[in-house]
Structure 1
């Protein structure tokens, strides 16, 4: 009989080349370019359109260095994701990686993190989309949606209807088929990148080198604080790893897509930051609510460039919502196949090859959150969930190298254990800057989820059942 510690730490076998995973299968229809666009689409969202008004007052013109530092910390983790994605090419992101390296109970702890990162952020991002739609309507047509239909009850409204509509549209796309969703996301990502390059091109016409004279007014501490603020604009790169079972040639394409997405995101962020600072004095960024739109409206003296950038923000957030909703459904799909979630989450429609019931359930849950609950605090919770998942991935690289040194890897992080260790330290550093209440609530949420595992999922685990999928490895 298996002891309790063996049950809690049993590990899922690593799929080998040509192995068939148990349970329903998804269609491998996503190529390298589309995978890269998933990473960019899940990352370039509201952050870059408004982050300068928060980061510049903290770091000054040296915010450019802050962007690079945040990109390096995110990049360290992205490299670790790339190695694991090329070694364990399955759906489920860091949940699946933890299951094969740390064991079942730690994997469920990571799953709790991912439910925050993807589920809650889907709703939070949709609420942001509602605000930008209203801004765009005001600029184009001179009217806004009634407050009762664009705010949660606690904010004086009845329901945030645009947020609910956005989630419903994204769910319909995902139900229609992964290929169609990926094509739509790719188009939207290209559009928002073009809009950001357009902003930079306009902003560079007003370049003033004097804006960089007092480069680091708040010293190294200000630069690092700015990096902490900016880091969360890089969250979303890991969405690539949720597509493990739908990627073509995953051992090659998943690592490459993660690295390409990181390079594109970092380059566009630094470009926009330099252009914005060149066009506007640092002291003008404080409390500037319209972000990039305001910068070029003030520079050009007309509203049309700002309207175009606002439209880009609307498209950008649509793309982010689509990607995070997709990621959430694929994580639940992987968990259901492992017995950690009810079987309804793994039912695949034979025509569309998508998990339709799963998508509907996630859309309803996130739609309710977005429609009736102000979720500013819950949105902050996504940050610590993401960082905890990042730490597990970096640990997974170290553990898997020691445990499976001969495993075929599509990509291997250079420098031995240096990068995984630096990634862990970087994430821990950012966690120490979070509010204590955020850390406390996260701990309670994780504990509740582990209770669900202990009393429900543990006995239903595929590894606990007799048969070919019941292989258990004691740690």
Structure 2
């Protein structure tokens, strides 16, 4: 679909905020534009609806099971619903919906993109450690591929606007503070260490 849009709009594609919809409009008429927009709105609603359930549950899990957030964040009511997490996620959502659509899209892209950076760093780290044996797997070129991927990732980050990068940096700093300065539940930490030890023995 994206290739078709590029073929139709060519260099003008960057002039439109909904290039695929515009491309279908030029190709088949106004009804093509309407169909693409309806499909996009349906997809957005589906993701938002699922996130309204998933996000509070994840926040409560970070508080109750992993000890990475204060315990009060994971409090639940008599229906076993994490009501504080629901209120927190609703508050953040109300702030975000005041922003432009394109800004929110860029934030989503940045969040989806950044999650691959730890995987690249993990490949570099575990390549010369025995913490997780690779059973003979060797990455061609040694460190060339992960380092090249890391350089490309850093370059691609520079294509985001300063506003998006500042929001991403703020979230990263907040996560760092929560990780290093909030006391973790020693019982959960012990369970995690025992799990890692069993995993090493299996490997």
- Under a length normalisation based on structure 1, what TM-score does the superposition of the two structures give? 0.32
SS of the aligned residue for 2:119 comes to helix
Q: What's the offset of the Cα at 1:328?
A: 3.6
| Alignment partner, residue 374 of structure 1 | 99
Query: Which has the higher relative contact order, 1 or 2, with Cα contacts under 8 A spaced 6 or more apart?
Result: 1
Unaligned runs of 5+ in 2: 197-203
Q: Structure 1 425/328 Cα, relative in aligned 2: closer, same or farther at 3 Å? A: farther
Q: What per-residue deviation string (whole Å, max 9, x for no partner) do you get for residues 379-436 of structure 1?
A: 645555544432122212332452423379xxx7853655433332221121233445
Q: Give the whole-Å Cα distance in 2 for the aligned partners of 1:307 and 1:437.
A: 31
| Alignment partner, residue 343 of structure 1 | 71
Report whether the alignment pairs 1:321 with 2:34: no
| Alignment partner, residue 462 of structure 1 | 185
Contact kept? 1:338, 1:462, Cα under 8 Å: yes
CA RMSD of aligned residues (A): 4.3
| Alignment partner, residue 274 of structure 1 | 3
Q: What per-residue deviation string (whole Å, max 9, x for no partner) do you get for residues 249-272 of structure 1?
A: xxxxxxxxxxxxxxxxxxxxxxx1
- Under a length normalisation based on structure 2, what TM-score does the superposition of the two structures give? 0.64
Q: Structure 1 322/403 Cα, relative in aligned 2: closer, same or farther at 3 Å? A: farther
Q: What per-residue deviation string (whole Å, max 9, x for no partner) do you get for residues 333-386 of structure 1?
A: 4422221113355568999xx864366235422432245x22565664555554
Contact kept? 2:25, 2:32, Cα under 8 Å: yes
Contact kept? 1:462, 1:469, Cα under 8 Å: no
Q: Give the whole-Å Cα distance in 1 for the aligned partners of 2:25 and 2:169.
A: 44
Contact kept? 2:9, 2:23, Cα under 8 Å: no
| Alignment partner, residue 131 of structure 2 | 404
Q: Structure 1 405/299 Cα, relative in aligned 2: closer, same or farther at 3 Å? A: closer
1:312 to 26, 39, 50: 39
SS of the aligned residue for 1:406 comes to coil
Q: Structure 1 288/324 Cα, relative in aligned 2: closer, same or farther at 3 Å? A: same
Contact kept? 1:296, 1:306, Cα under 8 Å: yes
Pairing 1:67-86 to 2, within 5 Å after superposition: none
Q: Structure 1 400/365 Cα, relative in aligned 2: closer, same or farther at 3 Å? A: farther
Contact kept? 2:106, 2:160, Cα under 8 Å: no
Q: Give the whole-Å Cα distance in 2 for the aligned partners of 1:281 and 1:462.
A: 56
Q: Give the whole-Å Cα distance in 1 for the aligned partners of 2:139 and 2:78.
A: 42
Pairing 1:9-158 to 2, within 5 Å after superposition: none
| Alignment partner, residue 201 of structure 2 | none
Report whether the alignment pairs 1:432 with 2:155: no
Q: What's the offset of the Cα at 1:312?
A: 0.9
Contact kept? 1:292, 1:309, Cα under 8 Å: yes
Q: What's the offset of the Cα at 1:468?
A: 4.1
Report whether the alignment pairs 1:293 with 2:21: yes
Q: Structure 1 343/304 Cα, relative in aligned 2: closer, same or farther at 3 Å? A: same
Q: Give the whole-Å Cα distance in 2 for the aligned partners of 1:379 and 1:274.
A: 20
